[in-house]
Amino acid sequence: MKRAIPLLATALALAVSPAPASAKGCLKGAVVGGVAGHYAAHHGVLGAIGGCIAGRHLANQKAKADAAAAQHEQAPAPAPPENKGY
């Protein structure tokens, strides 16, 4: 019975979630933050949460910069100025 309650709670949470979350940056940040938090003040869980948040933020910034660079590469080149022989 003790195992059933957490299992049911997890199943309910997964069933209610609207869409799968993208974990780009979160996993790497959580690992780094967890290790840093563990060694700094024995707060590995708090470090992992902070690392996940920071990693996700940095991944969003990188994705935005990559999208801007891709759009810049696809932009048409400006027309050369007309040479009228002056």
Measured distance CA(58)–CA(66) in Å, rounded: 12
Please indicate whether residue 3 or residue 65 has the higher confidence score (pLDDT).
65
pLDDT tens per residue, range 67-77: 988 887 776 66
| pLDDT score for 14 | 63
Asked if residue 45 has pLDDT above 70, the reply is yes
Collect all residues with Cβ–Cβ distance below 8 Å to 32 and sequence separation of at least 6. Answer: 51, 55
Measured distance CA(71)–CA(12) in Å, rounded: 41
Q: Taking Cα atoms as reference points, which of 25, 86, 19, 23 lies closest to residue 54?
A: 25
Please indicate whether residue 51 or residue 11 has the higher confidence score (pLDDT).
51
| pLDDT score for 64 | 93
Measured distance CA(50)–CA(32) in Å, rounded: 10
The domain spans of the chain are 45-74
